Amino acid sequence: MNGLVDHVKWNKYKLPAGATIGEIDLSIGSVGEGKPVGLLIAGLHGDEGPWGAWAIRKFLERVQQSELRGTLRIIPAANPSGVEAGKRNASLDLIPSDLNRSFPGDESGLHTERAAATIAKYGIAGAEAVVDVHGGGNWCVNAFVARFPGAEDLANAIGAPFLMDRQPIQGTMTGYAHSLGAKVVLLEMGGIGSEEEAWANRVSEGIERALNAAGIVDTENKMPKSKSVAVGPSKVIRPSKGGIFLPVLKEKDVGTIIQGETITGHLLDPVTMEVVETYRAPFPETAVLLLRPNLIQVEGGTPLQIVAQPK
């Protein structure tokens, strides 16, 4: 049996994409009927697109229709033009806008505003639980979950390395869904690298446990194998100027706790390759939430790593 994936019904909603392209499809799937109603969404940022969609596919293949309770809506590529281009934001507006800062959107607005309005109308409206899948995408690897008030059970069930308590932000997809009374959880897990399939599997299993906690599925996978570590406010490590970033922390280090003053990376002069800045773990115990694992040219102020102090 191929699970829920064989039973999803897909609807395509047309979004304006300019005179040369015409229209682009936003696909929203649905499986099951009745309450409770859940929304599983990925790809609000286009550069994170395929990793979240891959995890969603794995979840839909594993969970059977007999294990579904109520209705599940699925949006694997919420920002289809961004996903297609591998860019964070769609380039179809006069000024590219962040879809995840555009809710509840505008049905008569620009491309991104209409995308948000379509997701709000056909995805969020009436949903009692929303699982928002993000990740490092094509430039980094992430290892944490945002835990919002009233939905602690969903966040705890995922089994991420780290949990970060957050308040809903107005204009975001989760903030808008929370304002309508839905339980919301935001994953920031996985991304490009040699372990991307392992992360996709881990995200898929976490989605299943979160939807178990929400009462939308009923499977045996209810408890994570390991307990997440709660962390305090995060700190973003950024270069003061442009150059070549040489990471010392690698893909295996994301999701771990390192000791204070551990060297995490260097900024190199792009011509001489001499070290011009060195970055160190800022806390006595430093949780590694996000990192760039590869040698790469960066601009000044670009996020290199995100760390936090365990509570």
Residue ranges and CATH numbers for the domains of the chain are 3-213 (3.40.630.10), 230-310 (2.40.50.100)
- C-alpha distance from residue 192 to each of 229, 254, 290 (Å): 23, 12, 12
For 300, counting Cβ atoms within 10 Å of its Cβ (0-12 exposed, 13-18 middle, 19+ buried), the class is: exposed
Residue 295 pLDDT: 95
Pairing outcome for strands 285-291 and 9-16: unpaired
In angstroms, the CA 134 to CA 146 distance is 10
Contact yes or no for 208/57 (Cβ under 8 A):
no
Query: What is the amino acid identity at position 232?
Result: G
Cβ proximity of 88 and 98 under 8 Å: yes
Which of the 8 DSSP states describes residue 284?
Answer: S
Collect all residues with Cβ–Cβ distance below 8 Å to 198 and sequence separation of at least 6: none
Give whole-number Cα distances, 249 to 123, 162, 170, 286, in Å.
38, 17, 34, 12
Peptide bond into 104 cis (omega under 30): yes
3-state secondary structure 148-166: CCCCHHHHHHHCCCEEEEC
Q: Which whole-number Å values give the CA distances from 236 to 252, 280, 282, in the listed order?
A: 19, 12, 10
Q: Are 73 and 125 in contact (CB under 8 A)?
A: no
Q: What share of the chain is helix, strand, coil (3-state, %, to 5)?
A: 30, 35, 40
> What is the Cα–Cα distance from 7 to 100, expressed in whole angstroms?
29
Distance of alpha carbon 144 from alpha carbon 185, whole angstroms: 11
Per-residue pLDDT of the chain in tens (311 residues, 90 and over written 9): 689 999 999 999 999 876 556 789 999 999 999 999 999 999 999 999 799 999 999 999 999 999 999 999 999 999 999 998 888 998 787 788 999 999 999 999 989 999 999 999 999 999 999 999 999 988 899 999 999 999 999 999 999 999 999 999 999 999 999 999 999 999 999 998 899 999 999 999 999 999 999 999 999 999 999 999 999 999 999 999 999 999 999 999 999 999 999 999 999 999 999 999 999 999 999 999 999 999 999 999 999 999 999 99
**Model-level pTM?**
0.95
In the prediction, which pLDDT does 247 show?
98
> What DSSP assignment string belongs to 159-192?
--SEEEE----TTSHHHHHHHTT-EEEEEEEEES
Predicted local confidence at residue 27, as pLDDT: 98
- Tokens encoding 259: 């000791």
| Secondary structure element (H or E) that encloses residue 50, with its range | helix 49-62
